Amino acid sequence: MRNTWLIIKREYLQRVRTRSFLVLTVLAPVIMAVLMAAPAKLATMGQNAQHLVLVTSNPQFAEAVRHELLANPIGGGDENADEKAKKLETQYSFDLDTNSTEGEKTALRNQIDTRQIDGYIWLTDDAIRSRKVVWSGREEADFRERSWLSSSLTRVLLEQKLASSGIAVSQTDPIVPTVKIDSVRIEHGQEAKGSDTGRFLVIIVMVMLIYMAVLLYGISVMRSVLEEKNSRIMEVLLSSANSTELMTGKLLGVGAVGLTQIIVWTVMGGVIGLPLLAAQASLGGLQLSPTVLVSFVLFFLLGYLLYSTMYATIGAITTTEQEGQQVQFIIVIPLVLSVFMLMPVLRTPDSAAVVWMSLIPFFAPILMFARIVVQTPPLWQIALSLLLLIGTVAGFTVLCARIYRVGVLIYGKRATVAEILKWLKYAKA
């Protein structure tokens, strides 16, 4: 036990005293925040309102469409009419064009090419009758823009139809009301707090922490083994401690480094990040329950121990870092698949495929944790996942320790499967 503690202390202090550790610990959250905020900021910097032309055979109809578009902008929320119109005018500006000839269409296309306008919407009588309105521009209108235009046109046409039946436009609001749709998540028979955006952000940030920590520090364990193995320091170390103590000390020492970084990042996020996120309307209900925090620690530690044990084994059976990188793809595959499965977890956390995959130890650190954040699964599923994960960690620790015991003293070539099986027999004996 004393030898294991000394190795843990050496591995930990050797890493936390380096400049790279201090710089990464302090700058990583800043870099992450910049990477998340910069694209949205750059997209809006210097961005002018889109200049669109409404081409129509009927100026009154086009004016009604423009008024309806301004009254109901994309993502208008709960603002009043003036605020909605002001918000949309920063995104779009509309001109009316009553010349609906083919020559005018060609002229508008040339104006798009020369960037005099950003696009035009063909609202001629023929287009309205055929229910095929075309929005042309340098870029295709996205789904939200098409839905926005479609709902506005539908409302204007309905108001005109009612007006032709003798119903004044001022009387159409009670007949054709705009209904706001809210979504509420029910969990355990009660309304669950927190927005979808907040839960999605929690999943992305914490899952990426698990993914990056397991990957980076697992590779660090492999490199440490290879370095000591190739420099023949391993032979000196084995004269004072056995292979099991060495492997255990490395895993726990490097794991403590990762946990230290995550604790620092969590404190920085709580002091700086959460107040800024809470100021956002869509993230006002963002909160981390004790269950989520405890689950994060458990699945991080168990996931790290599982994958780092396998990385230590790769370091023992290979002779160079290049060889280790070629073999490690077998370990990375479950982590990558877990990240790809996050979207199905968000959509259907109780589907059979998601449930079964979250119980498999190699996927559990990410998928079961994500399920807990989205919608807490039954307690027996969480308990079974943890038990299977603990059992797998214990089994791999015993198996990998036997390979490690012989492999760290093998030099010159990468071991074959047959040789590894022999090592297991030797270590068992």
pLDDT in tens, 68-92: 877 776 655 444 555 555 555 567 7
C-alpha 371/C-alpha 386 separation (Å) is 14
Radius of gyration for the alpha carbons in the chain, expressed in angstroms and rounded? 31
Q: Write the CB contacts of 89 (distance below 8 Å, at least 6 apart in sequence).
A: 49, 70
Range among 132-136, 186-190, 314-318 with highest mean pLDDT value: 132-136
Q: Write the CB contacts of 6 (distance below 8 Å, at least 6 apart in sequence).
A: 241, 249
Residue 182 has pLDDT above 50, yes or no: yes
Q: Which residue has the higher pLDDT, 215 or 336?
A: 336
What is the residue extent of each domain of the chain?
A: 50-175, 194-428
Interior/surface letters 340-371, b for 16+ CB within 10 angstroms, e for the rest? ebbeebbeebeeeebbebbbbbbbbbbbbbbb
Q: Write the CB contacts of 82 (distance below 8 Å, at least 6 apart in sequence).
A: none
Mean pLDDT of 7-14: 82
Residue-level pLDDT at 169: 58
Q: Which residue has the higher pLDDT, 105 or 1?
A: 105
Q: Which residue has the higher pLDDT, 405 or 5?
A: 5
Mean pLDDT of 334-349: 86
C-alpha 395/C-alpha 301 separation (Å) is 16
Q: Within 10 Å of residue 387's Cβ, how many Cβ atoms?
A: 12
Range among 272-286, 314-328, 345-359 with highest mean pLDDT value: 345-359
Q: Output the pTM of the full model.
A: 0.63
C-alpha 27/C-alpha 22 separation (Å) is 8
Query: Mean pLDDT in the chain?
Result: 75
Q: Which residue has the higher pLDDT, 114 or 262?
A: 114
Mean pLDDT of 152-173: 73
How long, in residues, is the chain?
429
Closest CA to 208 of 256, 165, 262: 262
Is the domain spanning 50-175 CATH 3.40.50.2300? The answer is no
Tokens of 389: 């994960």
Percent of the chain with pLDDT over 70: 72
